[in-house]
Structure 1
Amino acid sequence: MASAPPLETGTLVGYPPPPSYDEALGSNPMYPAGPYAPADMKAPVPPYPPQDYSQMYPPTPAQQGQPVTTPVVSVQTVYVQPGLLFGDVAVQAHCPVCQQNVITRLEHTSGALVWLSCAGLAIFGCIYGCCLIPFCLDNLKDVTHYCPNCSSVLGSHRRL
């Protein structure tokens, strides 16, 4: 007949087993056996000594009785014009020279598209003055946007 294997213990070989729950409570004076501690038992020592109160931040001038002065803060306004596209119509823009919000003044000038369309009309036989029609049409010319106050250039729109 086969026998059962030997029981394994949870202790290391050569060392005594740990005390039971009742032995541990009875031998340690910090944990009394009953629900109430005896009257002659001292309270456990706190792990850290109590510290004196100290203020974390220095006192403000108002707490010290001194007059309070407010600092002067200067604010600089920055105008950012994201996505401002200069086309063939007047737009509202901020002029960096005179610092005003203005509606731009337009000037039309003959650009590459006017000259190419004039040459194309001349090639197709419109030599007797009809090839000069593109110089009269503002829709074919380049557009320059100016500030109406200080006449500085704010942007331009090229057809080609």
Structure 2
Amino acid sequence: MDATMENKMGLPPPYEPTAPNPVPPPSYFGDNPPPPPGLVVPAVPPRTTVTGPSAPPCDRPVKMGPGPTGTTCPTCHKSIVTRVDFVPNTRTHIVSAALCVLAGCCCGCLVPYCMRSCKTANHYCPSCKAFIGTYQHS
């Protein structure tokens, strides 16, 4: 078959050889080049980990269970059983709105606000009143 016959038949043109793959960019994690002259980079002190009773409180809340849970308070370092407060969350509002739409009246929309399974359980220390963690039903 000649080239004119291929074009009439709607066939694609033959592939041409391509150049080899380009060189990959340098790694971002190793072999860092030195800083340009005149730029002063301050030395970073090494991180230290403090353990024991003098450790600062954790910034991230701890996952807890749905009821009062025994633990050690990160603020006052006492062995405690947490106090639980149940507060409405997004799930409570969505279930309430869905019941209101499906039932056609507003009486059913109050049910999720009475159910603990539709609320978030926030755990607090009974001694120092510090926030310990949270639990949401899945």
* TM-score grouping bracket, smaller chain normalisation: 0.5 to 0.7
Q: How big is the alpha-carbon RMSD for the aligned residues of Structure 1 and Structure 2?
A: 2.2
How far residue 99 of structure 1 moved from its aligned partner, in angstroms, is 1.2
Superposed CA offset, 1:90-129 (max 9, x none)? 1111112111010000000000111011011011124131
Q: Which has the larger radius of gyration?
A: 1
Aligned equivalent of 1:20: none
Q: Which runs of 5+ in 2 are unaligned?
A: 1-50, 56-61
Identity of aligned residues (%): 23
- Are 1:89 and 2:67 counterparts? yes
- The change in CA–CA distance for 1:152 and 1:105 in structure 2 (over 3 A counts) is same
**Number of residue pairs matched by the alignment:** 81
Q: TM-score, normalised by structure 1?
A: 0.46
**Match of 2:70, as an amino acid?**
Q
How far residue 147 of structure 1 moved from its aligned partner, in angstroms, is 0.2
Aligned equivalent of 1:48: none
How far residue 87 of structure 1 moved from its aligned partner, in angstroms, is 1.9
Superposed CA offset, 1:115-146 (max 9, x none)? 01101101112413111111111121101000
Task: Pick from 106, 109, 112 the counterpart of residue 90 of structure 2.
Answer: 112
Greater relative CO, 1 or 2 (CA 8 Å, sep 6+): 2
SS at match of 1:124: helix
- The change in CA–CA distance for 1:137 and 1:126 in structure 2 (over 3 A counts) is farther
Q: Distance in 1 between matches of 2:67 and 2:133?
A: 12
Whether the aligned pair in 2 keeps the contact of 1:108 and 1:141 (CA below 8 Å) is: yes
Q: Once superposed, which parts of structure 1, at least 4 consecutive aligned residues long, lie more than 4 Å away?
A: none
- Are 1:101 and 2:79 counterparts? yes
The structure that is strand-richer by fraction is 2
- Are 1:133 and 2:111 counterparts? yes
Q: Distance in 2 between matches of 1:90 and 1:153?
A: 13
Q: Which runs of 5+ in 1 are unaligned?
A: 1-75
Whether the aligned pair in 2 keeps the contact of 1:95 and 1:101 (CA below 8 Å) is: yes
How far residue 158 of structure 1 moved from its aligned partner, in angstroms, is 2.7
**Match of 2:134, as an amino acid?**
S
